[in-house]
Amino acid sequence: MDDDSTFTPRTPAEAFPLLREAVIPILEKNPEARVAFRAMRDRGLSEEQAREEIARVLIAVMFHVGAGSERLATAGGGQGLRSEAFRRLAGGETAREIFEG
């Protein structure tokens, strides 16, 4: 039997590092995420801080997808909302400003 405890977070504090690691393939495959990441790095954020901002966007988009929010519908779905958020990150906003503002 496989022990999947390394992949199954037991608390929210354990989930965030796993999601941060998931950012690497997102950066490899998503040009908008790469542009946002590079812009944040150019503004002086550390690699870890920039990855955390990308992770926060992914969490927020998942929330909107799960909730079927009006904002999700307005953005044209999860991909549209994610693209909008990455563009805004690249423009200088934080995930908090994008999703709480």
Quote the pLDDT of residue 19: 72
What's the domain count of the chain? Answer: 1
Residue 3 belongs to a domain? no
- Each residue's pLDDT tens digit, 24-71: 999 999 999 999 999 999 999 999 899 999 999 998 999 999 999 999
**1 within domain boundaries:** no
pLDDT classification of 12: cutoffs 50, 70, 90: low
| pTM of this structure | 0.80
Answer whether residue 8 is part of any domain.
Answer: no
How sure is the predictor about 18, in pLDDT bands with cuts at 50, 70 and 90? confident
Q: Is residue 6 part of a domain?
A: no
- Structural domain containing residue 64: 13-100
Within a domain: residue 4?
Answer: no
pLDDT digits over 88-101, tens only? Answer: 999 999 999 999 96
Is residue 89 left, alpha or beta, with left meaning phi > 0 and alpha meaning psi from -120 to 50? alpha
Distances (CA, A) of 35 to 7, 14, 25, 56: 29, 28, 14, 16
What is the spatial distance between Cα 1 and Cα 59, in angstroms, rounded to a whole number?
Answer: 31
Side-chain half-sphere exposure of 31, counting CA atoms within 13 A? 0
Domain contains 85: yes
The rounded distance, in Å, linking the Cα atoms of 77 and 65 is 8
The size of the chain, in residues, is: 101
Sign of CA dihedral 27, 28, 29, 31: positive
